[in-house]
Structure 1
Amino acid sequence: MEIFLNEIFNIVANEYKDWTICLNNANEEGIYSFEENESRLLEHISWKKHRNSTTSFRNIYTRYCLQFIRLDRDKKYNQWLFLGAFEICGVINFDDGHQVYDLRKMDLFNQYSERLIIEYSKKQGPKQAKIGIENIETIKVVSILEKKYVKTSYLFEGYHKVSLPFLELKKIVMGNVDNWRILLENVNCIYSIVDETNGKIYIGSTYNKNGTWNRWSEYVYTNGHGNDCELKQLVERQPDYAKSFRFSIIEVFLNKDDTSPYILERERYWKEVFRSKIFGYNDN
């Protein structure tokens, strides 16, 4: 069942005039937590005008704002982490000409700060920095984390040792963990997904310019099924079913110029080895 943002926040319509929704692209440092670096994150979300610019990056005319930051730095999956509700107490001018808003964090909705994740696709291009509060009625809530979002760091021990439970893969992808992202972007592979509740296996392959990272990100942002037919049926019946999946690399292609026909030939070979069309989740 879909849950929309205002089912959580319950801002009444006659208060819409007081609110703006602010959308911030991820910062270069990958900071998503005020505990990690409060001053840097606050500077990032409060930016109004660049120095030497005649126009503002973002004009906010309301008293309050809801601040979100994009989780996927490559701007593909449109998921945003809620950072909090803020009162706008003015504008701070700096000697070099740049301006920031004087934001004061409120207690309102604080229980969801750095825990609530929404899905929203920008309608006015990648630089769109704000949207009207009325969108709160149609913005979907993806998840509410048990604890505050943490950008995790995992040791990458080699392609031959990549075997991840889905929940760990999800943390790596949503945390945009640099060492994993870079290394998985640079190769294509044959991979397996094992259902640890019954031992059934799915065999898949990647053959695109963004490599394994791109394909495995699709699994994360589709709640584990990646639009694979039989996996999708499992997840649709039980939304948290993917927590029983384990993702592993079987064969890696270090040369990304390897042609898709060759990779698909190797995929067919591994499907035959594991008999995954007969005993597993492959339907072709």
Structure 2
Amino acid sequence: MEKKITIQELLFNRGLKKEDKIVLLRHKDNRKTKIIRGVAYNESLYDIYRDNPKLFLEYQAEQAEDKFKGVEYIVSFLGEEGTKSRFLGVYRIVETITNDSFSPFYYKMIEVKGFKYLKERVIIDWGKGTLSWCQGIHNEKEIIEITPGFADAFPGYPNVILKFNRLKEIINEGYPEWKRMLSAVNCIYAILDNKTGKIYVGSTYNRQGIWGRWEVYVKTNGHGNNVSLKEMVESDPKYADNFIFSILHILPINISAEEAIKEEELFKKKLGAISFGFCNN
């Protein structure tokens, strides 16, 4: 039987020592609201990391308990589907601050050099103990995949919340994992106008799945041939930059148009998309 390659092997080959005090962290926070340095954020950890990496590191640095007592190095991962975890980097703790204005424990960290070309690319299997988000270095984690980079990571259907510019990037670049997952199912989806707060609710019901429908939005500069959205986009070609796409409910790939539209109508009623949104019927 061929020996598996572990993250430990990679870390030690890149300069960390077995005698160093190291912990592995898997960040997977499903809370709707996250308080970071006293400010509330409703974005997913995925979006926080992609849009504001410094804020993500502040999130990592704050702890309610002295979780990193005696620890020298933190190896950080972002939890993805199932037990998959994406390597984000290695950080050295340089100072522990207790009872600052925002948290009982705040750990000042600096990123360790030497892992640039592995960062965001290496995927490990965290194993069954996903609730155990902080583990010692002795817990071996198998490397199961090397990806082109973080841009190709699919966060799971419930966590798909995409600004239009990000959706364009995914569709135009044809990120394989995104295309595979979005082509496998249909859905009820929402488009939020971040400028007005209005919402559009739609459904997909084709053999190309979500990917096939959302590709139309990209090709039409954001309106997808929807009458209300089209008026705004045609009056201001950059207006779709205000749009945020999300998945509300998954539907089978073989669902009929009639069944999908019936589900769509239910979500329109729940969200008031006809009375207060962009839906005309």
Could you state the TM-score of these two structures normalised by the residue count of structure 1? 0.49
Could you state the TM-score of these two structures normalised by the residue count of structure 2? 0.49
